[in-house]
Amino acid sequence: MRAVLNHTSLLPVSSTTTGSASPVPNSYESLEGGSYSGTSLQSPPFGYNYPTMHPAYQQNPAPKPDPSPSHGGYNPPGYQPYSQPFPSLSELSSALGGLGGVSELEAETLRPVNLLQERNILPPKHTPPPEPNLSNDLRKVNCSPDTFRCTLTNIPQTQALLNKARLPLGLLLHPFRDLTQLPVITSNTIVRCRSCRTYINPFVSFLDQRRWKCNLCYRVNDVPDEFMYNPVTRSYGEPHKRPEVQNSTVEFIASSDYMLRPPQPALYLFLLDVSHNAVESGYLNVFCQSLLDNLEKLPGDTRTHIGFVTFDSTVHFYNLQEGLSQPQMLVVSDIDDVFIPTHDSLLVNLKESKELVKDLLNALPGMFTHTRETQSALGPALQAAYKLMSPTGGRVSVFQTQLPTLGAGLLQSREDPNLRSSTKNVQHLGPATDFYKKLALDCSGQQIGVDLFLLSSQYSDLASLACVSKYSAGSVFYYPSFHHIHNTAQRQKFQKDLQRYLTRKIGFEAVMRIRCTKGLSIHTFHGNFFVRSTDLLSLANVNPDSGFAVQMSIEESLADTSLACFQAALLYTSSKGKRRIRVHTLCLPVVSQLSEVFAGADIQAISCLLANMAIDRSISSSLSDARDALVNAVVDCLTAYRANGSNIQPSGLIAPAALRLFPLYVLALLKQKALRTGTSTRLDERVFSMCELKSQPLQQIMHMVHPDLYRIDNMTEQAALHLNDSVIPQPPLLQLTAEKLTREGAFLMDCGSVMYLWVGKCCNETFIRDVLGFPNYASLPSNMTEIPELQTTYSERTRAFISWLLESRTFHPAFHVVKDDASTKTSFFQHLVEDRTESAFSYYEFLLHVQQQMSK
C-alpha cells in the first residue's frame, strides 16, 4: 500500500496494484526551480534536440531492472533496433499480447508510439474526436461530440478498471450551443420514465409496441396513446419512428407543469462604472455606441425591459418613464443602505421607452467627462441591482474599471508585484471575501445572472469579483489595460465582444440536470452555475458560449450492460417567454479490457478535464500541488499502459496512438497563464485564465491551450477545399516550436481569442505587398490589427482561409500582425509550448522527465 499522502494525484489512488508507480516525492524542485541542468544534458542547440540526445541517452543505465540480457544494447530477442517503429500489424497484435479480436480501428489507436523518437507527433490536420465503437445505426443518432463529449469513449466496467487506467472519467458539455438544426417537439405529452424521469431518447428499447424500457434505470414504462401517432410520417403504431426517438438532441416545448411561475420576460440591466478612471479609459463611448447599434437586436419580444444604473462613490438610477421628455437621474448617496428611489420606470419596457433609452445612451458618455470621483462603490451598486431585479430576474451586465473601494464588498489590493514570477506558491487565487459569493447565491435564487466586464489596468482582485458571475451562471470578460485610444486592439476586441454578447441567444431561469446510467454517478461539477442539489444545476442565465464539465465515478459494476447512456436536460425560458427543454443524450459502449479503455481515450477531453481539476486543486490546495498532479497524471497513465502492455522492454517512452499527444497537451497546460510559474504573470490575468479554462467549451480551450500554427506565405491550392466558389487552402498544422518558424516565411497562430500573424524579417516581398499592402518589411507598422482587403489572389486566398477558420467561432479573435521586434512578440513566442524557456521544460526535456519519473 503506497503512502497516499506523498503521492500528489488528481485521481483517486487505487488500492489494486498492478505494477503501478511507486511513491513519488512531493517536491519537484527540479521542475519548478528552472534550469534542468542537473543531468547529463548540456544546453542543446535551440530547437535541435533530437539528434544530439540519442547518443547521450544510450549511455544511461536501464530504467528498469531487466531479466533479458544486454546492458548497453537493449536487444531482447525478437525486438528490432529501437530506431524503427513496429513494422507490421501482426507483430503489433502479438506484441500487445492476448487482445484477440481487436478491430482495425482499435489496433490503430493502440499502436505504440515511441514519443522520444517520433518527431512529428502532431497530425497535419485536426483529427476528429474518437468515434465510439457502436453499431452503425446507434452511431448515426448519437449526440454530436461538439455538444457532449466523454473523456473515455469506452466506459470501463468497474471502478477498479478505471483506476487501473489512471485516466479521469468525465463529460464535457456545451448544451446551449448554437445549432443549425434542432428538432422541436410540440406535442402535449413529454414521455419520461416514471422512476428516474429520463426523457425518451434514441437509445431506449421498445419491448413491444406499447412498452419501452428506460436505458438509464431499466424500468419498463408504458407508451402513452398520443405517442403512438407519429405526426411526421402521419402513421400510427410506430413509436420508434417519432422524432424524439430518432434524434439525440431535441427541444421540447414545456407545458405549465414545468413552470414555477409564468415565464419571465427578458430583463436587461446595465451597471456602469463612471468614476474618473472609467471615463479616462473611454469604455463608455464604446459601450453606448455598441448598445445603440444593437438595441433592435437584443433578444426578446414586446415585453423586454431595460434599465441602467451608474455608480462611482454614489449610485445613480435613471427614470426612463414613457412620458418624460428626457431621462431623469436619481442619485442615492447612502451607500450603506441602498434603496430604490422609485418603484417603477427604472426598468422600462424597451419598445415603449426606446427614444428615452437612446437619448440616455447618447448623453451618458458626456455626462461624466468632468467627474473627479475616484472611488467605486460596486458592492452597493450590485445590491441595488439585486433589489431592482429580484421580483422578476434577468441579466445584469456589470462594467467595472478598478478595485471597488467603497461600501460593502470593498476590496484591498492583494497582489505583490515582486512575486509575479515567483516559482513558489502563488497566493490569493481565491476570493478575499464571501460578499460576492453570497450576492451571487442570492441572485441565483432570484434568477438573476450577473456578467462581469473588467476593463482595468491595475490589479482589481478578479479572484473575488469573478465569484459574482461564477455562481450566478454569468460570464467574465477581462480587458487588461483597456484604453480607447492607446490600446486599439483591446477596444476593437471589446467592440466585437459586445456585439456578440448583446445579440446572442439567451435563456432565463434555467436548470439543468445530468442523468447517467444506473451505476455511474457524478461527483464534481465544473463551470459557472450553482449546484442546488445532487445533480441539479441552477443557471440563472444560460448562454451559447459557456461549457461545463463533470466528473463521474463508477459506483456499481456495469458488467450486465453493454451501453452506458448520459442525458443532459436543460429547462429554460427563451427570450420570447416560451418555456423549453433541450435534451441531449449520449450513448457509449462499456468495455472490460484495459486496452480497450486506452483505445477509446479522447485526449482533448481528458486534457480539458485535467485543466479543470488542476484549477480546483490550485485554489483549494496550492499551485505547485496542481502542477505536480498534472505531471503525475501523465506519468501514471503511461506507466499503467506500460504495465498492461507487452513484455517487450523497449527504450523510449511508449504511448498508445490515442494518447500520443497527452504529454504535449499537459506541457501546454503547464505553460498556460493559469498554471505557469517562473514567468511574470499578473494575478488578474492568471485568475482570468483560470476562469476561462473552467467556463469555455472544449474547442475554445483547445485553441487556447494548444494554438494552431500555419505557414501562410506559401499556401497552395493543393488539397484545398472548394466551398461556395471560393478556394480555401489547407496548409498543414505545424508544431509549436521556433524550429518550424523561418525568417523567410509568415506564420499564422490561431489561439482562439487572439490571432497572431508573425512575419519573418526576410519574408518575400510579394506576400507583404499582396496581402498586407505594404511595399516591404520595414514599412510594416508595429500595431497592425487587420489584413486589408486587397484584390490580389494571395490576399483573397489568405482572407478565405482566415474566414474559414473563424466560421464557427462565436467571439471573433483580436488580430495582431507581429513583426520581429514588437511587444506582441513575447505573447507570440510564449505560445510556442514545445520550446524551452528559463523556467520551463522543452517538450523533449519534459518527455525525459516523465520517463525518469516512470522509472522510479
Continuous H helices in 188-328: 225-228, 243-246, 276-281, 283-294
- Cβ neighbours of residue 255 under 8 Å, at least 6 residues apart? 188, 190, 579
Stretch that binds another protein, among 323-331, 353-361, 526-534, 699-707 (CB under 8 A): 526-534
The DSSP bridge pattern shows strands 112-114 and 654-656 to be antiparallel
Point out which residues pair with 332 in neighbouring strands: 315
Q: What is the DSSP letter of 517?
A: -
Q: Which three cell numbers stand for residue 246?
A: 430518432
**What's the rounded Cα separation, in Å, for the pair 384 and 444?**
15
Stretch that binds another protein, among 214-222, 531-539, 795-803, 814-822 (CB under 8 A): 531-539
Identified binder of another protein from the candidate list 431, 547, 760, 813, rule CB under 8 A: 431
CB of 414 to another protein, least distance (A): 10
Nearer to another protein, 161 or 468 (CB): 468
Stretch that binds another protein, among 16-24, 104-112, 328-336, 614-622 (CB under 8 A): 614-622
Binding mask 616-655 for another protein (x = CB under 8 A): x--xx-----------------------------------
Residues touching another protein: how many (CB under 8 A)?
24
Identified binder of another protein from the candidate list 285, 433, 649, 726, rule CB under 8 A: 433
Q: Which three cell numbers stand for residue 310?
A: 451608474
Identified binder of another protein from the candidate list 523, 578, 761, 856, rule CB under 8 A: 523
Please tell me whether residue 391 binds another protein under the rule CB under 8 A. Answer: no
Identified binder of another protein from the candidate list 34, 47, 243, 445, rule CB under 8 A: 445
Nearer to another protein, 206 or 525 (CB): 525
Q: Which three cell numbers stand for residue 347?
A: 426598468
Stretch that binds another protein, among 188-196, 460-468, 564-572, 652-660 (CB under 8 A): 460-468
Point out which residues pair with 156 in neighbouring strands: 591
Nearer to another protein, 439 or 666 (CB): 439
Please tell me whether residue 533 binds another protein under the rule CB under 8 A. Answer: yes
Q: Are the C-beta atoms of residues 454 and 460 closer than 8 Å to each other?
A: yes
Q: Which three cell numbers stand for residue 266?
A: 427578458
Please tell me whether residue 438 binds another protein under the rule CB under 8 A. Answer: yes
CB of 426 to another protein, least distance (A): 14
**What's the rounded Cα separation, in Å, for the pair 187 and 307?**
37
Q: Are the C-beta atoms of residues 320 and 335 closer than 8 Å to each other?
A: no
Between residue 76 and residue 135, which ones bind another protein under the rule CB under 8 A?
Answer: none
Strands (E), 409-546: 448-454, 476-478, 507-516, 520-526, 530-533, 536-542
Please tell me whether residue 572 binds another protein under the rule CB under 8 A. Answer: no
CB of 187 to another protein, least distance (A): 29
DSSP SS3 for 800:
helix
Nearer to another protein, 4 or 292 (CB): 4
Stretch that binds another protein, among 246-254, 463-471, 776-784, 829-837 (CB under 8 A): 463-471
Nearer to another protein, 35 or 620 (CB): 620
What CA dihedral angle connects 656, 657, 660 and 662, to 10 degrees? -70
Q: Are the C-beta atoms of residues 549 and 697 closer than 8 Å to each other?
A: no
Q: Are the C-beta atoms of residues 851 and 653 closer than 8 Å to each other?
A: yes
Identified binder of another protein from the candidate list 212, 311, 399, 471, rule CB under 8 A: 471
Nearer to another protein, 228 or 619 (CB): 619
Q: What angle do CA 736, 54, 651 make, to 5 degrees?
A: 95
CA–centroid distance for 254 within its chain? 30
Nearer to another protein, 126 or 523 (CB): 523
For residue 847, what is the enclosing H or E element? helix 843-854
CB of 260 to another protein, least distance (A): 14
CB of 531 to another protein, least distance (A): 4
Interface residues with another protein (CB under 8 A) are 430-434, 437-438, 441, 445, 463-464, 467, 471, 523-525, 530-534, 616, 619-620
